[in-house]
Structure 1
Amino acid sequence: MTPTPPRTVSANITLSLDGFAAGPGGDMSWLIRTALDEQCASGFAGWYRGVDTVLLGRTNYEGFHGFWPAVADDPAADPRSRDFSRWFDAVDKVVLSRTLTEATWANARVARDLEATVKELRETAGGTIAVFSSISLIRALLAADLLDELRITRVPAVLGAGVPFWADGLPGSTWTVAQLQTIPTGAVVTTLVKETS
């Protein structure tokens, strides 16, 4: 029997030109124009359609769970958002948390050990394992050398302060640009794949 190839672990993040994932006080207004752009939204939909497991930190889980389930049946929501809501409800979700005891969203479970969980998931059959904008999880995956693909949307805004994405102490790594897409808002979506030795 042919062994199952390891599944890809892919992360998606939106950053300002100066490397912030959020502005002061968690401000996200600087990325709305790009996120709503048709070309950007279409590219994001193409990426997540290949995902069948989502890794979430507790904060992202609670925020997504508090917002997305209701969108599916909201007549005021755009069709793409309703589709994403239905997809998010159906996809397998693994919540990495040391404090959460249970996950009540459909197809969600809580795990404690990120590295062990990801290594186990990589060896099971399935599609891409993804992280949506969780800075702590993406950094942890980079530190553990468990991230295969990094999709960065760089928005042409300089925030000067906020929540920085890059942090001291991450190990060095080399990446190859697999895809580059320019968005009409001036943002650039770069899909990077990890070089293996």
Structure 2
Amino acid sequence: MRNIVLQMMTTLNGRLDDPLAWMGTVVDAQYRAIDRLYAGYDTVLVGRTTYEEMVGYWPGALEDEASGETNRTMARRMHDYRKLVFSRTGEHAISRWHNAEQVVAADDAALARYLMDLKAGPGADIHLSGGASLAQTVIGLGLVDRYHFFVYPVVSPGEPWFARLREKNELQLVGSEHYDNGVVGLHYAAVRGTKAERPKSFSELIA
């Protein structure tokens, strides 16, 4: 079974939309860590608006000799990945890009069925990218298996990744690191099948 992995920059309060409004620098060590994670994917899930932003940048970065080695490696990965662009209606065609296709999922049930079939098929892990609405929906459906957050030391109003959770999600910390720009990398695995009862008082939480 393939994993769906949410990997993104975020704020201390979990904002995931409009990163140019709050995101600071990406230092080299952080970018290399991001690239190492991207090496484990072969498919990207993305909404149409974010996809068009990707088309506007990555094909040109692939040929840009002035960009750094890590950025060109990322551009090559983006070129090669299977890119699934989700839409509720399919009303708007997507720009052409290598290995990209539009997927029409009219409602959450159709989206869940498609993603479950995708996870059951052959291949490497699947990266859940933006935009905010797609990420929130897939998280709310309980289909995300792993989370990689690069948390910037800032709070900012906007769309949090957990806005459409339907119930408490248990996560297990599997790794962490920090960088010179104050960013903390947090890596979690979803914990399945644990439905602990709500404690009757705070004293029950004290070991």
TM-score of Structure 1 vs Structure 2, range by shorter chain:
0.7 to 0.9
- Residue 86 of structure 1: how far off its partner (Å): 1.4
The residue number in structure 2 matching 1:174 is 170
The residue number in structure 2 matching 1:129 is 126
Match of 2:99 among 103, 107, 125: 107
Over 3 Å counting, the alpha-carbon distance change for 1:69 and 1:52 in structure 2 is same
The residue number in structure 1 matching 2:4 is 9
Kindly provide the amino acid, as one letter, of the partner of residue 66 in structure 2.
Answer: A
Q: For the pair shown, which has the larger CA radius of gyration, 1 or 2?
A: 2
Structure 2 stretches lacking a partner, 5+ long: 106-110, 194-207
- Residue 62 of structure 1: how far off its partner (Å): 0.5
Q: How many residues align?
A: 186
Moved over 6 A (4+): none
The residue number in structure 2 matching 1:3 is none
Secondary structure of residue in 1 paired with 2:169 = coil
Secondary structure of residue in 1 paired with 2:24 = helix
Match of 2:16 among 12, 21, 39: 21
TM-score normalised over the length of structure 2:
0.83
Contact 2:137 2:164 in 1 (8 A): no
- Residue 71 of structure 1: how far off its partner (Å): 0.8
Output the aligned Cα RMSD: 1.8
Kindly provide the amino acid, as one letter, of the partner of residue 138 in structure 1.
Answer: A
Contact 1:16 1:158 in 2 (8 A): yes
Secondary structure of residue in 2 paired with 1:32 = coil
Structure 1 stretches lacking a partner, 5+ long: 1-5
Kindly provide the amino acid, as one letter, of the partner of residue 99 in structure 2.
Answer: N
The residue number in structure 2 matching 1:45 is 35
Give deviations 1:154-181, integer Å, cap 9, x for gaps: 111133x234333155322111011111
Kindly provide the amino acid, as one letter, of the partner of residue 129 in structure 2.
Answer: F
Greater RCO, CA 8 A, separation 6+: 1
Kindly provide the amino acid, as one letter, of the partner of residue 88 in structure 1.
Answer: M
Q: Structure 1 CA distance, aligned partners of 2:65 and 2:77?
A: 17
Identity %: 24
Kindly provide the amino acid, as one letter, of the partner of residue 17 in structure 1.
Answer: L
- Residue 30 of structure 1: how far off its partner (Å): 3.6
Matches for 1:49-64 after TM superposition, within 5 Å: 49-64=39-54
The residue number in structure 2 matching 1:143 is 140
Contact 1:152 1:191 in 2 (8 A): yes
- Residue 56 of structure 1: how far off its partner (Å): 0.7
- Residue 117 of structure 1: how far off its partner (Å): 2.0
The residue number in structure 2 matching 1:196 is 192
